[in-house]
């Protein structure tokens, strides 16, 4: 769970990403570290990147991927991870 302070900071960064604005290196490093450690933050970052990508190519791959998500599945016997596209 994200604290209110972290969530608001992450949302401000993600609004810049989604809008195609420049984001400082310090903010990107902070947001990526948070996303690696927190699933909610990861989803917020993923949605912002998807929106930024879909803004660039109207009717392209971004539109196709809207509503789809990559999920890591771990095989129970081999413990190898798979990336699976889910709706």
pLDDT tens column, 8-20: 999 999 999 998 8
Per-residue pLDDT, 24: 95
Cβ atoms of 16 and 23 closer than 8 Å: yes
Phi-psi region of 69 (alpha: psi -120 to 50; beta: other; left: phi over 0): beta
Residue whose pair of structure tokens reads 């969530």 in the numeric block: 7
pTM value is 0.64
* No. of helices (H) and no. of strands (E), the chain: 4, 2
6 vs 60: which has the higher pLDDT: 6
């Amino acid at each position: 769970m994200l604290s209110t302070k972290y969530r608001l900071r992450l949302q401000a960064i993600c609004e810049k990403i989604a809008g195609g604005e420049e984001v400082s290196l310090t903010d990107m490093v902070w947001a990526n570290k948070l996303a690696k450690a927190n699933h909610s933050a990861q989803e917020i970052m993923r949605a912002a990147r998807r929106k930024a990508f879909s803004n660039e190519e109207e009717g392209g791959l971004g539109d196709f991927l809207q509503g789809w998500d990559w999920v890591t599945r771990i095989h129970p016997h081999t413990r190898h991870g798979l990336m699976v596209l889910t709706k």
